[in-house]
Structure 1
Amino acid sequence: MARNRVRVRFPSLAAPLLALTAALALTAGCGSSDASDSSSGDGGHPHDGAPVVVVTTTWEGAFAKAAGAKDVKVIVPQSVQHAPDYDPKPSDLAAVADADFVLYAPFEPYAEKIKEAAGSDAELVEVNLDNDADKATAEVARLGKLFGTQDAAATWQKTFKTQYADLQRELKAAWPGGKAPAVVTQVFTAWSAKLAGAEVVGTYGPEAVTAKQLSDLSAKKPALVLDNAHMSTGTVLPDAGAKQVKIVNFPGKDLDLLPVYRDAASALKSAMAGAA
């Protein structure tokens, strides 16, 4: 765990979380006999050995589900575009209090505060949220080992690799003129450029593009600009003649990671057809 890596401060959360700690303690006390009944009795996780996983967003949730977790609770609603802006509710803390694992990303600094305020014994797990195929499969394998669900994780990896290869073939067949398109990509959507087999001629973000970057990136004459839908600052290269493609990183409520790749492939195919 890497708690000391989280340095962003959210002062507004401290008081509400501390105020809720006492209420959650009372709730836990009232349900202590039920909690002991649900334990496996061998020092393992409760709920018949299946881990209870609380995640900050659907992105971590999708990684947990891919790794084989069955009982996954998401704290931040899908409608919240920027997770660190979310203010946890008492029900969020109650969910954490019953968790075996709490999954979070480094840019979500309130995760540890949520766990501490809830008095949870959950293991806090930092997740590498990157949809790059190699990094995603490695993270799923790591979580599967952590959860004790290696077989489920391996099954997902096999399905993912097959579908990913299919999408790569489809996108290569859609290259304009049979040549890999030149693209500029936001740093957190570079995985989609890799999926398309595109030639990355420049990157930007997460900060806004400066005047110099605008000039330098435009000079690369990209056919496509891959924009992060969750951190968009509008048209990135307005005078470059490049087609901007919105790439979505976060999965939906079903916590299925595979549609993220299919949706990106669909958007890229449409953009490449328009750039032909």
Structure 2
Amino acid sequence: MALTRVRIPSLVALSAALLLTAACGSGSGSGSGKASDDAPAKGGSEVKKDRPVVVVTTTWEGAFAKAAGAEDVKVIVPQSVHHAPDYDPKPSDLAAVAKADFVLYAPFEPYAAKIKEAAGSKAKLVEVNLDNDPDKVKAEVDKLGALFGTADAAAQWKTGFDTEYAKLNKDVQAAWPGGKSPSVVTQVFTAWAAKLAGATPVGTYGPEAVTPAQLAELSAKKPSLVLDNAHMSTGTVLPDSGARQVEIVNYPGEDLDLLPVYRSAAAELRKAAAS
């Protein structure tokens, strides 16, 4: 999990930017390319707003929202920005927030409430537990499905997820030499990948850099693998320990599909098993 932080300009400046956006193009949407739900339909009838407008800070929250059944999802921080330390919200971001029904954020992202305040949105702020542990994912999808009124879609996604996860778990475990899973050390936000591999971590580190004392302690456990966080890697975690380091990606792509994250982790773990 990347500790994504965004610098927030003054609320006055952001609010002014939003007013400029509205003045220059009040008919523009939230960036999704869809017509406004409040625009009149052909023949003068009103378009029924039957789905929530969801704004999320990153693609990770976006994938949870999509899994829960949300269709109209706007991502603030681009997927290409892993840490986003220098990202400043644009007027179009504020315009999207102003039209949102829900704004999803993680507790380590301090800018979500400020974005909402600057845009003057009445959206409901929803804190999401960003963890790819399968049980935690399904709990969050259930919660969001209930909030969005899309519980049936959330249940259907969970069924497909369970099937895919079980297959990947079986494939990875079958790749271990002799069928024995390795001992692993994980970054605090990659423990879910050890679970996917059927392995039990012998130690964890992070999100801060490993101290000399931790280095000695973790190396003494003689792990076969180190599951590092690709979004906040500090380089080789246990040099000279003989452990193979595997980079684990937490964030989904722009398609907001969570399943490729698990497929990617499984592929990397199978490579490690084959080496």
TM class, shorter-chain normalised? 0.7 to 0.9
Q: Percent same amino acid among aligned pairs?
A: 69
CA–CA distance in 2 between the matches of 1:124 and 1:233? 32
Letter of the 2:61 counterpart:
E
Q: Shift of residue 87 of structure 1?
A: 1.1
CA–CA distance in 2 between the matches of 1:247 and 1:15? 39
Any conservation in 2 of the 1:38–1:47 contact (CA below 8 Å)? no
Counterpart for residue 16 of structure 1: 13
Any conservation in 1 of the 2:12–2:118 contact (CA below 8 Å)? no
| Greater fraction of residues in helix | 1
Alpha carbons of 1:38 and 1:212: their partners in 2 closer, same or farther (altered >3 Å)?
farther
Counterpart for residue 61 of structure 1: 62
CA–CA distance in 2 between the matches of 1:75 and 1:38? 27
Q: Which runs of 5+ in 2 are unaligned?
A: 29-35, 42-46
Secondary structure of the residue aligned to 2:125 is strand
CA–CA distance in 1 between the matches of 2:223 and 2:24? 57
Counterpart for residue 168 of structure 2: 167
Higher RCO (CA-CA < 8 Å; seq separation 6+): 2
Deviations 1:154-181 (A, max 9, x none): 0000000011011111111112222121
Deviations 1:37-77 (A, max 9, x none): 569xxxxxx85221011111110000000000001111111
Counterpart for residue 44 of structure 2: none
Deviations 1:88-120 (A, max 9, x none): 111100111111111111111111111111111
Counterpart for residue 136 of structure 1: 137
Any conservation in 1 of the 2:172–2:270 contact (CA below 8 Å)? yes
Counterpart for residue 92 of structure 2: 91
1:42-81 matches, within 5 Å, as 48-81=49-82
TM-score by length of 1: 0.87
Alpha carbons of 1:13 and 1:225: their partners in 2 closer, same or farther (altered >3 Å)?
farther
Q: Shift of residue 28 of structure 1?
A: 9.3
CA–CA distance in 2 between the matches of 1:38 and 1:132? 43
CA–CA distance in 2 between the matches of 1:47 and 1:86? 35
Alpha carbons of 1:184 and 1:24: their partners in 2 closer, same or farther (altered >3 Å)?
same
TM-score by length of 2: 0.88
Counterpart for residue 274 of structure 2: 273
Counterpart for residue 122 of structure 1: 123
Any conservation in 2 of the 1:182–1:200 contact (CA below 8 Å)? yes
CA–CA distance in 2 between the matches of 1:89 and 1:9? 12
Q: Which runs of 5+ in 1 are unaligned?
A: 1-7, 40-45
Letter of the 2:17 counterpart:
L
Any conservation in 2 of the 1:55–1:102 contact (CA below 8 Å)? yes
CA–CA distance in 2 between the matches of 1:147 and 1:11? 28
CA–CA distance in 1 between the matches of 2:234 and 2:118? 35
CA–CA distance in 1 between the matches of 2:149 and 2:8? 36
Any conservation in 2 of the 1:20–1:117 contact (CA below 8 Å)? no
Alpha carbons of 1:38 and 1:259: their partners in 2 closer, same or farther (altered >3 Å)?
farther
Q: Shift of residue 245 of structure 1?
A: 0.2
Structure 1 window deviating more from structure 2 (167-176 vs 16-25): it is: 16-25
Counterpart for residue 256 of structure 2: 255
Secondary structure of the residue aligned to 1:102 is strand
Secondary structure of the residue aligned to 1:185 is strand
Alpha carbons of 1:256 and 1:9: their partners in 2 closer, same or farther (altered >3 Å)?
closer
Q: Shift of residue 22 of structure 1?
A: 3.8
Letter of the 1:20 counterpart:
A
Deviations 1:197-222 (A, max 9, x none): 11210000000000000000000000
CA–CA distance in 2 between the matches of 1:190 and 1:30? 46
Q: Shift of residue 249 of structure 1?
A: 0.2
Counterpart for residue 32 of structure 2: none
Matched, 1:107 2:104: no
After superposition, the CA RMSD in angstroms is: 2.2
Count of matched residue positions in the alignment of Structure 1 and Structure 2: 259
Any conservation in 2 of the 1:13–1:87 contact (CA below 8 Å)? no
CA–CA distance in 2 between the matches of 1:242 and 1:159? 34
Counterpart for residue 242 of structure 1: 243
CA–CA distance in 1 between the matches of 2:8 and 2:39? 38
CA–CA distance in 2 between the matches of 1:91 and 1:68? 24
CA–CA distance in 2 between the matches of 1:171 and 1:234? 25
Alpha carbons of 1:47 and 1:114: their partners in 2 closer, same or farther (altered >3 Å)?
farther
CA–CA distance in 2 between the matches of 1:209 and 1:115? 36
